[in-house]
Each structure stands twice: as structure tokens, then as C-alpha cells.
Amino acid sequence: MLRCRSCGLVQLSAVVRPDILFADYLYASSASPPLLAHFQELAEELVSRYASPGSLVVEFGSNDGILLRPLKDRRVRALGVEPARNLAAMANEAGLETLNSYFSGEVARQIRDERGLASIIVGNNVLAHVDGLRDLARAVEHLLAPDGVFVAEVPYLSDLLEHVEYDTIYHEHLSYFHLLPLKRLLGEVGMELFDVTRLELHGGSIRIYAGRRGTRTPTAALRTLFESEARLDDMRLYADFSRRVEESRHALRETLEHLRGDSRTIAALGATAKGNTLLNYCAIGPETVIFVADSTPMKQGLLTPGMHISVKSERALYEEKPDYVLLLAWNYAEALVRRHAEYLAQGGRFIHPIPLARLVPA
């Protein structure tokens, strides 16, 4: 992971071809109850603030249509652009119009010619996946109406560093954003940020709002967050993060080894990309974690990459009754603990790995 001395963007040094990553994608957003509620609220905000009945709202990286559905329910023309064939097919089968394509200048021109300009363009948890950010910004600018709004959610670099969220650093996430590089990127195409919201989602995210330069007044929240980011220029912060990552790895391995020494059985919950980063970095394999439970049918029956741990349905938590469950999807820890109250009632405990391993409930 590198940091640009010019714009401050933190980014990976290697890029995996997007067709390898996204042509067939095994993460369906609608499988997550917290995300369903989150996008219901976002749809209500977007339509009430920036759209009217019949307005065109375009979401790129729309996954299985988790936001398109509540947008459509609010009587706007919702259109998704999704590169994963399987997810685009799922959305279209559900009546949520989705183009199976990467969002690009060509696709933006096609949409503009056939449907007109977009009142709102949305990109949630997708900017970090894009290598050609300038091309993406130009595509957004081309499709956006003169008074339109571009809204995007991205994991926030400041939270990643503060909470030692090293497992979110993996091949799909090419960029790790804060406001300054986003300001510079949008400025290159005549757009500017005018608002920002902090979110707890995914361990800490920001939702940015942007429009054409001079069309909207920047908020106090945006100015305040910009001022707080001065500390991100201090390279000692990144050196300290590196040290704390090693401490986190050591604490988790020590905890798991102690439990195994007491002949306790350990499973994991959430066959996530971040979870696989953690398992591989910490060298945690099937000798320690007997299976990974996951709610997504597309993942069940497979093996985790690298460590080759079996992925099973969440029913396995109750059928095999492991003593402890490592929360690989720790960003949904609160919701997962609520959902599996029965597992706790039968005597099980959860292990939260970030920043230092701890039992949940304490």
C-alpha cells in the first residue's frame, strides 16, 4: 500500500484485471439485513432532496439492485450499471433495469442519448475498485444534469488507520480515500464537493456529495472534516499503523492458540474478502478454524481462498456447536450478535479480531 506525495491518495501498487474480479461476483448485497435498511434510508434521502417523479437516477456498481428497488418504489427512473453478469441478471429478473457493463464514457453517452441526463448518479462502495478514476469522473460529468448531484460512499482512510482495519486492504480495494484526493479528482472535470456525512458502515465510511462547480454552497460539515484531515499528511501516522497491524495479528493468533490449547472448537462467521485477508495474513487455517459460516448460498460448499477452510451455511453454528466463532464480518458485529442470540444462549462466544482480539459479549 502506497501514498501519493502529490495528492495524498493511498493506493495499492498492483492491479488485478477487473474481468477476473468482477465478471462473476459472489457477494450479493441484499443478503445483508443492515445494508437493506441502509439503502432504504439512502433512497428516501436522495429522492426527497434531489429528485422528482420521473427523474433519472443512475447507480453504477449496482450489485443485485439493493438500492435500485427502493429508488424504483419512489417513482424515479432507476437504472443500474453492473459489470458482474450474475448480479446484473439477478437484478433484471427482479424487474430492476440493469446494464451489464462497466460504467465508462461510452456507457454514459449511451445512457444520455437514450434516456437523457441524470438528476442523481450514485456510486456506493465502488470508487475504490476502479483503476481509471479520471475516466470515471469524466463519465459522471458527461451524464450529470446541470443541477444534478453525484453521491458516493467510500470507506474512510482516517477510520481505517485509527481502528487498524488492515483486513480491508485487499486486491479489490485499489484506493483508500479521504477528501483531498476526491476534491482534486472531481475538480479536474469541473465538479466540486459540497457536503459529506460520516457513516459507521464498513468500519467507518464517508458519503460525499458533489455537483458542478459553483452550483451549491459547501456545508460546515465539509469544512470541518477537511480541517481534521491535516493529520493525514504526517507519515508517522502510517508507520504507527504498520506497527499496530503487527500487534493485532499477534493478539489474534495468541488468543486462538490459547483457546485451542484448552481443546475449544473455533469456527468463523462471514466468508468475506476482508475475512480472507485476515485469515491469510494471520496464517489461520482449518487446523484452527473448523469451518466458516456464511449466509450467501453462492459461497456455501466452497473453500476460502488460500487457507482452504470449508464454507457452510449459518445452520452449522447450531448443528456443530463450536465453542467460539471468529467474526470475520466484524463490521456487522452488532447485527450478527443479535441475529445469533440463540448461539450465545447455547453457551457460545464470539471473537472480535479488530483492533485487538476480544470476546463478545465481554
- Cβ contact 297:285 at 8 Å: no
pLDDT of residue 27: 77
pLDDT of residue 222: 98
Which tens digits make up the pLDDT trace of 110-126?
999 999 999 999 999 99
Structural domains of the chain, with CATH? 2-233 (3.40.50.150), 246-360 (3.40.50.720)
Which tens digits make up the pLDDT trace of 303-322?
999 999 999 999 999 999 99
- Cβ contact 257:313 at 8 Å: no
The rounded distance, in Å, linking the Cα atoms of 222 and 273 is 31
Peptide bond into 355 cis (omega under 30): yes
Confidence label for 24 from pLDDT (cuts 50, 70 and 90): confident
Share of the chain above pLDDT 70, in %: 100
Q: What is the mean pLDDT of residues 47-59?
A: 96
* pLDDT above 80 (res 362): no
- Cβ contact 196:222 at 8 Å: yes
Q: Which residues contact 63 (CB under 8 A, 6 or more apart)?
A: 25, 27, 28, 29, 30, 82, 84, 87, 91
Alpha-carbon Rg for the chain, nearest whole angstrom, is 21
For the chain, the average pLDDT equals 95
Q: Which residues contact 180 (CB under 8 A, 6 or more apart)?
A: 7, 8, 226, 229, 232
Query: Beta strand 118-124 with 311-312: parallel, antiparallel or unpaired?
Result: unpaired
Q: What is the mean pLDDT of residues 66-90?
A: 96
